Amino acid sequence: MERRRFLLALAAGLTGAAGLRGARDLAAGPPVAPRASVPAPIATPAAAPAGVAGVVPVDPPVGVVSGLPGTPRALALTVDDGTSTEVVAAFAAFAAGSGVRLTLFPNGRYRSWTDNAAALRPLVESGQVACGNHTWSHPDLTTLGDAAVAEELRRNRDFLRTTLGVLDTPFYRPPYGAHDERVDRIAADLGHPTVALWNGTLGDSRVLSAAQLLAAARQWFTDQRIVVGHANHPTVTTVYGDLLALLADAGCGP
Ligand SMILES: [Zn+2]
């Protein structure tokens, strides 16, 4: 599909309609890549694609997406998991205050999302924040039987709908980037035909210092990246201003 439309789709996380809201172009989204059974190209456990907003009818790509192709001046900032209520709250405030677009991959088992639903729902509704399915409890899906894989995805899909108002999202991000044709097929059958991997990372699935996190951002905030970060540890909440500056340096700021 044409890249711009895909980006909007990624951003919006919707297959429905949309309207590009605001002028933020932080994020973008990506396309493509043949279906594969390989984990993410970069990055270790978990993490990221991201954000844009907008709403436009789209046909999301089917298969594995691990980077943004083509046109420069776009990157997608994705935020996974949500083990911390305080960090999720900070991300919501960051998005609302800066206009930056984010794509979230929440695990519904963490109460952080329910705790912050009132702040997040308007951002989802406007299209500034998109969401994808990251499973309910973050298992390695390739180790589960078919019924358990489906339950992990179905339960989180329903949670995204009822808690955050996410009507539909084509995106699913397998925890740890661990997937194969079997789990991809189950995800597609549940409405998620796009495997949203990443090709850049803040490295913050573990605890980092601010300097370490910013070093990762300097490395990966470049055109056509799908960068993964996490709403788990507080370090990232102390460097939002620096991240905005780096996005601006890359020509991808809101
Ligand atoms: Zn994760």
- Asked whether residue 25 is assigned to any structural domain, the reply reads no
Three-state SS letters, the chain = CCHHHHHHHHHHCCCCCCCCCCCCCCCCCCCCCCCCCCCCCCCCCCCCCCCCCCCCCCCCCCEEECCCCCCCCCCEEEEEECCCHHHHHHHHHHHHHHCCCEEEEECCCCCHHHHCHHHHHHHHHHCCEEECECCCCCCCHHHCCHHHHHHHHHHHHHHHHHHHCCCCCCEECCHHHCCCHHHHHHHHHCCCCEEECCCEECCCCCCCCHHHHHHHHHHHCCCCCEEEEECCCHHHHHCHHHHHHHHHHCCCCC
- Asked whether residue 183 is assigned to any structural domain, the reply reads yes
- Asked whether residue 26 is assigned to any structural domain, the reply reads no
Which has the closest alpha carbon to 172: 71, 26, 63, 96? 63
CA of 125 to the centre of ligand 1 (A): 23
Which has the closest alpha carbon to 136: 124, 147, 123, 149? 149
CA of 81 to the centre of ligand 1 (A): 5
Sign of the dihedral through C-alpha 219, 222, 227, 229: positive
Q: Any idea which residue has 């990157």 for tokens?
A: 75
pLDDT given at position 197: 94
Q: How many domains does the chain have?
A: 1
**Contacts with 174 (C-beta within 8 Å, 6 or more apart), sequence order:** 135, 141, 142, 183, 187, 195
CA of 115 to the centre of ligand 1 (A): 19
CA of 162 to the centre of ligand 1 (A): 21
- Asked whether residue 28 is assigned to any structural domain, the reply reads no
- Asked whether residue 27 is assigned to any structural domain, the reply reads no
Per-residue pLDDT of the chain (254 residues; tens, 9 = 90+): 344 444 444 543 322 222 222 222 223 333 333 232 222 332 222 233 333 322 222 455 678 887 766 656 778 999 999 999 999 999 999 999 999 999 999 999 999 999 999 999 999 999 999 999 999 999 999 999 999 999 999 999 999 999 999 999 999 999 999 999 999 999 999 999 999 999 999 999 999 999 999 999 999 998 889 999 999 999 999 999 999 999 999 888 88
- Asked whether residue 43 is assigned to any structural domain, the reply reads yes
Is the overall model pTM greater than 0.75, yes or no? yes
Q: Which residues surround ligand 1, an ion (CB under 5 A)?
A: 46, 80-81, 175
Largest CA distance in the chain: 46
pLDDT given at position 61: 65
- Asked whether residue 254 is assigned to any structural domain, the reply reads no
Which has the closest alpha carbon to 132: 109, 153, 110? 153
What residue numbers bound the domain in which 216 lies? 3-19+33-249
Query: CATH no. for residue 132?
Result: 3.20.20.370
pLDDT given at position 75: 87
pLDDT given at position 252: 85
CA of 74 to the centre of ligand 1 (A): 23
- Asked whether residue 24 is assigned to any structural domain, the reply reads no
